[in-house]
Amino acid sequence: MIEFIEGNDAVVRGAIDAGCRFFAGYPITPASSILVSMMRELPPVGGIAIQGEDEMASIGMCIGAAMTGLKAMTATSGPGVSLYSENVGLAIMGETPLVIVNVQRQGPSTGSATKGADGDILFMRWVTSGGFPMIILSPENVQDCYTLTVAAFNFAERYRAPVFLASQREVGLTREAFNYEHAWAEAPTPLPRPVAAPDCVYEPHACPTPDHVSPMSPIGGPHLVRYTTSTHDQRAYLTGDPDVIEHMTNHYRRKILDHAEEMGIYEYDPQRGADTLIIAYGVCARSARGAVKMVREKGGKVSLLVLKTIYPMQRRVIKEAVAEVSRVVVPEMNMGQYVWEIRAMAPGKDTIAINRMSTTLISPEEIIAKGGLL
Amino acid sequence: MSVPDFDLSTVGVGVAQESCSQANSSSYLLPEMLPFGFCSGCGHIKIAGYLDEALRRLELPKNKVVLVTDIGCIGIVDKYYDVNAFHGLHGRVITYASGIKLANPDLTVIAIMGDGGAGIGGAHLLSAARRNLGITLIVANNFNYGMTGGQHSCTTPLDAVTSTTPHGNLEAPLDLVRTLQPSKPAFLARTHVFAEGQVDMLVEAIQTPGFALVDMWDLCIAYVGSRLALNKSAIEGMMDELDMPAGVLYRGTRPEYSAAWRALYDEKGARTPPCLLQVTGGSVLDHKVGIILAGGAGQKIRSAATLVGTAAIMSGLKATQKDDYPITVRTGHSVSEVIVSPDDIYFTGIEDPDITVILAADGLAQVARRLTKCSPDARIYVDEALADSVQTPGRVVPLPFAQTAKRVGKLTIAPVAIGAVLAREGLFPVHIFEAAARAMQKEAVAESTIAGVRAGLELG
């Protein structure tokens, strides 16, 4: 079964198949088609979709609905993420599962509304005051838009955290053949929301060990549910006790970082004898694949690591891949962001950043030339 | 505004204890959490008691009640209640309440915020009233930001001295009720903490389906009390002077939003069936080809490009399509880029187009830069009227697209051009393009597309 659809359409299909039953969003290019499709596609499966009066309202409604038992998603672009920022912090503090699609565009500010970029990578990583780990997945094609959306819902539910899908215009609005059978085979099985037993004494943030994630109970269900934006204990009551605060802040951090490898989605394609490794994500991974193909066809050697999970960082595989080479090439459609993470993990290596923020794609030829691959 | 002497005895320091005694078995307050953490004499203590009384009168199941609060002193009130509690960000209380009510319309959702929240969340207030979503909103309106040091708010009266209006307030106070009334929500009322009948008012507000506002004028003992000396007569004098009377001021009859939404979408909603493509094979193309269709708004460039990509996939090729057009969609350029290839397409950009089709001056302007740098093998199929404007080392093929389309029918210029391209380039068999049109388009549109393609073939 094949359809010729855009990445944003595949996000909608993935969300519905993952069990998303609440969507709120505010129109913004190039994410609007997700809102428009959800308004049409979600109600027939028993879901609720609404256009909020602004971005704050849209993500706020999603958080309210998520705590009332529905898997929720919102979609925006960079300027909308600016307005989501405070509520992403709330979702971290309140341990709310939520999928946020960011179809990035050229920035800063209004930038070029209809042109692509990957300028929000570190912005999404550090989106909240306080600074806590984020889960960020980056699709490179229409199939990824489906499978990573399903994965994003699973991670959101499993770790009770907001998850970004770091799409961008060049992925979200590019039309390609979407193969349903491949999508169903590749996507993880949608995870039902873990729910607390009706007869238990419910504590919304129970975490006997810092990395433990407790099941939820929906507002209006068998337990009285408390939720708060303030620093709180495991019962969700405000606390000033430094020991409790330390335990809870470790919890938000370690429930993500201690489980980083469980969230690892990547493709490592090493070539024996290669001295250069390309590390790429998103649309640049496509150009990187093109470059690798051309180099190998001409007898050159190069290894490739495509990261679909860009956060939490996949430290083990990155370290292993980097250890095999003396040179690392990182192409990005921004002025150099993820390359700093790679540099920190590749001391002593010659790390080459290939950057472009001109609204045009980085080509395979440019990667070959600037990366000195042939 | 008259400023009578402030009399602490009229507001009563003993209110906290009075509310404590209300925490009996039928209470919705949690005895172990009391007494309230508000300043002694704060009007919030009275509001908390009125709400408990209203809930006791309504006898609602505790797990079906949600109290939604935000930032400000009143925002800590939820912790004293034995119901579901959601304490969110400043001014966003209505957004969380809306998500909760939409997700589960059976819940009784009561939102409480201060005048600070009403100000910063003004857009949410207006939208809640417009939607008439079933939330009861209590604004504990004490004319200042008590939590942060008595700064002025959206309801601070003119001339009032606050920490951020040291010489008097120059901004007119917002009348919450009159602001929302044109949207005709279910219930709009105003009262104050020293009045009588607040509990009746809250009971009616909570029972009313639809959006209900109770603008509860309140006393901040820490900042406003010491400056304005508010008591019962002072607040009532202020209401007279500002022409903001107390009472139930509006009752609307519009349907409640979450119920109306479900009724409407249950009746009308149906999923869009996927447009599945039959891959029959038939292309003999052995290399990647980048095609640019450069036209203008209204020439159906994008749908023509989608048909090219669709036909390529049906014939066994890979395809990508990207469209570019200004945000003002009915004017200016419309440029679509389609890549077709027997192999996986990694790079989706077209820097050196193999085939360019130019149907409008606006489209030409968008691709002119690339055409000046394209290779000599590039083919540029251009409407004959625009041929002289094309500057390129590539091979220019002027053809009478517009003239032919005029003869064939409305909106056929793009199919005519595609027919001419297919005749010369042989990307995939024409009958697959026609099958794509029949699969993707309504019958009449498909017939017109096919007529255009056939006329274009003759040009080739």
CA distance A317 to chain B (A): 24
Q: CA–CA separation, A51 vs A26, rounded Å?
A: 6
Q: Determine contact: A3 vs chain B, CB below 8 A.
A: yes
SS3 A164: strand
Q: Which residues of A touch B103 (CB under 8 A)?
A: 22, 48, 64-65, 68-70
- Chain B nearest CA to A41, separation (Å): 5
How many angstroms separate the most distant Cα atoms in chain A? 66
Judge whether A58 and A49 are in contact, CB under 8 Å.
Answer: no
Question: Could you give the CA distance from residue A45 to residue A57 in angstroms, rounded to a whole number?
Answer: 23
Q: Residue B147's pLDDT band (boundaries 50, 70, 90)?
A: very high
Would you say residue B2 has pLDDT above 90?
no
Q: In what order do the strands lie in the sheet with A303-307?
A: A266-269, A303-307, A276-280, A327-332, A350-355
Helix (H) / strand (E) containing B356: strand B355-358
**Distance between CA atoms of B116 and B147, rounded to whole angstroms?**
10
Using an 8 Å Cβ cutoff, are B206 and B108 in contact?
yes
Residue A25, strand partner residues: A51
CA–CA separation, B81 and B30 (whole Å) = 6
Cα separations in angstroms, A39 against A50, A178, B268, B290 = 7, 22, 12, 35
Q: How confident is the model at residue B224 (pLDDT cuts 50, 70, 90)?
A: confident
A interface test, pick of B102, B302, B313, B325 with most A CB neighbours within 10 Å? B102
Q: What is the mean pLDDT of residues A131-150?
A: 98
Q: Which long-range contacts (CB under 8 A, 24 or more apart) does B439-447 make?
A: B439/B275, B439/B277, B439/B278, B439/B310, B439/B314, B440/B275, B440/B303, B440/B306, B440/B307, B440/B310, B441/B303, B441/B307
- ipTM of this predicted complex? 0.97
Domain boundaries, chain A: 2-186, 264-370
Q: Which residues of A touch B126 (CB under 8 A)?
A: 53
> What's the rounded Cα separation, in Å, for the pair B101 and B260?
13
Within 10 angstroms of residue B68's Cβ, the number of other Cβ atoms is 32
Best to test chain A binding among B98, B278, B321, B343 (most A CBs inside 10 Å): B98
CB contact under 8 A, B348 and A361: yes
A 125-184 residues inside an 8 A Cβ radius of B: 170, 173-177, 180
Give the Å distances, CA to CA, from B171 to A186, A361, B119, B240, B421: 59, 50, 13, 19, 67
> Per-residue confidence at B371, pLDDT binned at 50, 70, 90?
very high
pLDDT tier at B289, thresholds 50, 70, 90: very high
In the CATH scheme, what is the code of domain A2-186? 3.40.50.970
A218/B contact by beta carbon, under 8 A: yes
Q: How close B61 gets to chain A, by Cα (Å)?
A: 10
Q: Rounded to whole angstroms, how far apart are CA atoms A318 and A239? A: 39
Asked if the Cβ–Cβ distance from A64 to B98 is below 8 Å, we say yes
> Which pLDDT does position B225 carry in this prediction?
76
Strands B187-192 and B318-324: unpaired
Q: Are A2 and B86 in contact (CB < 8 Å)?
A: no
- Say if CB B453 and CB B415 are below 8 A apart: yes
CA atoms in the 13 A half-sphere facing the CB of B156: 28
Residue B307 confidence class, pLDDT cut points 50, 70, 90: very high
3-state secondary structure string across A9-77: HHHHHHHHHHCEEEEEECCCCCCHHHHHHHHHHCHHHCCEEEECCCHHHHHHHHHHHHHCCCEEEEEEC
CB contact under 8 A, B348 and A44: no
* Residue A372 Cα distances to A158, A285, A298, A337, B13, angstroms: 42, 17, 14, 21, 79
Q: Which pLDDT value is given to residue B230?
A: 78
- A110 to chain B, any CB pair closer than 8 A? The answer is no
Does domain A264-370 match CATH 3.40.50.920? yes
Residue length of chain B: 460
Contact A287 B346 (CB under 8 A): yes
d(CA B257, CA B189): 20
Helices within B104-231 (DSSP H only): 115-120, 122-131, 176-180, 198-207, 224-228
- The token pair at B185 is 């929500």
List Cβ neighbours of B99 (8 Å cut-off, separation of 6 or more). Answer: A22, A24, A60, A61, A62, A63, A64, A65, A66, A67, A68, A72
pTM: 0.95
pLDDT average, residue stretch B322-336: 93
**Mean pLDDT, residues A163-167 taken together:** 98
Long-range contacts of B87-90 (CB under 8 A, 24+ apart): B87/A227, B87/A228, B87/A229, B87/A230, B88/A60, B88/A63, B88/A90, B88/A227, B88/A229, B89/A60, B89/A86, B89/A87, B89/A90, B89/A229, B90/B116, B90/B117, B90/B120, B90/B121
B313 vs A contacts (CB less than 8 Å): 2, 4, 177
| Coil, helix or strand at residue A165 | strand
For residues A124 and A258, what is the distance between their CA atoms, to the nearest angstrom? 20
- Residue A27 touches chain B, beta carbons under 8 Å: no
Put simply, the answer to whether B85 touches A226 (Cβ < 8 Å) is yes
Q: What is the mean pLDDT of residues A91-115?
A: 96
Q: What is the pLDDT of residue B327?
A: 86
Q: Answer whether A226 sits within 8 Å of B88, measured CB to CB.
A: no
Residue to test with chain B: of A39, A175, A294, A333, most B Cβ within 10 A: A175
A225 inside 8 A of chain B by CB: yes
For B11-45, the pLDDT digits (tens) are: 333 333 344 344 445 899 999 999 999 999 999 99
Tokens of B284: 């003999």
Residue with tokens 């201060």: B114
**Cα distance from B345 to chain A (closest Cα, Å)?**
8
User: B382 forms bridges with which residues in the sheet?
Assistant: B358, B398
Q: Which domains does chain B have, with CATH numbers?
A: 8-264 (3.40.50.970), 289-459 (3.40.920.10)
The pLDDT tens digits for A27-36 are 999 999 999 9
CA distance A93 to A46: 29
Do β-strands A350-355 and A327-332 pair in parallel, antiparallel, or remain unpaired? parallel
For the record, the structure tokens of A45 come out as 């499966």
Q: Which residue of B has its CA nearest to A359?
A: B349
Q: How many Å apart are CA A240 and CA A245, to the nearest integer?
A: 7
Give contacts of A364 with chain B, Cβ < 8 Å.
346-347
User: In the structure encoding, which two tokens stand for residue B67, read together?
Assistant: 């109290």
Residue A9 has pLDDT above 80, yes or no: yes
Looking at chain B, the whole-number percentage of residues with pLDDT higher than 90 is 88
Residue with tokens 């094609």: A141
State how far residue A343 is from chain B, nearest Cα, in angstroms. 26
Beta-strand pair A226-228/B333-341: unpaired
Q: Left (φ > 0), alpha (ψ -120 to 50) or beta: where does B59 sit?
A: left
Cα dihedral angle (A24, A27, A31, A37), rounded to 10 degrees? 60
What distance in Å separates residue A116's CA from the closest CA in chain B? 11
> Is a pLDDT exceeding 70 seen at residue B1?
no
Q: Which chain A residues contact residue B84 at CB under 8 A?
A: 219-220, 224-226
Q: How many CB atoms are closer than 10 A to CB B39?
A: 19
**Environment class of B309 (CB within 10 Å of its CB; exposed 0-12, middle 13-18, buried 19+):** buried
Q: Which SS3 state, helix, strand or coil, does residue B118 take?
A: helix
For residue A179, what are its two tokens?
Answer: 């193969």
- A149 contacts A165 by C-beta, under 8 angstroms: yes
Torsion of CA B176, B180, B181, B183, to 10 degrees: 180
What distance in Å separates the CA atoms of residue A165 and residue A81, rounded to the nearest whole number? Answer: 12
Q: What angle do CA A38, A43, A48 make, to 5 degrees?
A: 75
Interface check for A68 against chain B (CB to CB < 8 A): the answer is: yes
d(CA A263, CA B273): 33
Which residue matches tokens 């200016």?
A: B332
Q: What is the pLDDT of residue A8?
A: 98
**pLDDT attached to residue A43:** 96
Quick one: how far is CA B261 from the chain centroid? 16
